[in-house]
């Protein structure tokens, strides 16, 4: 996968993480205000529930997009390995040597 593709996937992963955090905060707030009564509180709870539904929808969309990008990256990697097996073996061996050197210095 290209560096731009990797950056997109990382950005999407951060987005999914941020949305999950947003959902968790909203659910916690709803739980904390469950015993509160009054018109203002009911309005606030309704807005929070609406935003929670929206966040869950965005999360589902982001997860689908992330899965699609990951699959595309896996396909591209698979295609590259099949088209250039010796290059892929050389790259893997080089990475293995570098990891071995780094671990050997510890």
54-99 pLDDT, tens per residue? 888 888 887 888 888 888 888 888 888 788 888 888 888 898 898 9
Please name the residues in contact with 20: beta carbons below 8 A apart, sequence gap of 6 or more: 59
Domain range holding 32? 3-81
Confidence of residue 4 (pLDDT cuts 50, 70, 90): low
pTM: 0.50
Contact 70, 9 (CB under 8 A): yes
Confidence of residue 5 (pLDDT cuts 50, 70, 90): low
Q: Tokens standing for 66?
A: 């992330």
Specify if 29 maps to a domain.
Answer: yes
Distance in angstroms (rounded) separating the CA atoms of residues 92 and 17:
30
Question: Residue 3 pLDDT > 70, yes or no?
Answer: no
Specify if 98 maps to a domain.
Answer: no
Question: Residue 2 pLDDT > 70, yes or no?
Answer: no
Distance in angstroms (rounded) separating the CA atoms of residues 29 and 48:
8
Specify if 101 maps to a domain.
Answer: no
- The domain total for the chain is 1
Specify if 19 maps to a domain.
Answer: yes
């Amino acid at each position: 996968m290209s560096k731009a593709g990797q950056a997109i996937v990382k950005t999407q992963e951060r987005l999914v993480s941020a949305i999950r955090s947003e959902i968790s905060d909203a659910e916690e707030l709803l739980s904390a205000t469950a015993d509160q009564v009054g018109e203002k509180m009911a309005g606030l709870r309704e807005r929070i529930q609406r935003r929670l539904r929206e966040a869950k929808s965005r999360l589902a969309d982001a997860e689908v997009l992330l899965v699609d990008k990951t699959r595309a990256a896996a396909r591209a990697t698979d295609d590259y390995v099949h088209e250039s097996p010796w290059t892929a073996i050389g790259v893997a061996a080089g990475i293995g040597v570098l990891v071995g050197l780094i671990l050997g210095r510890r």
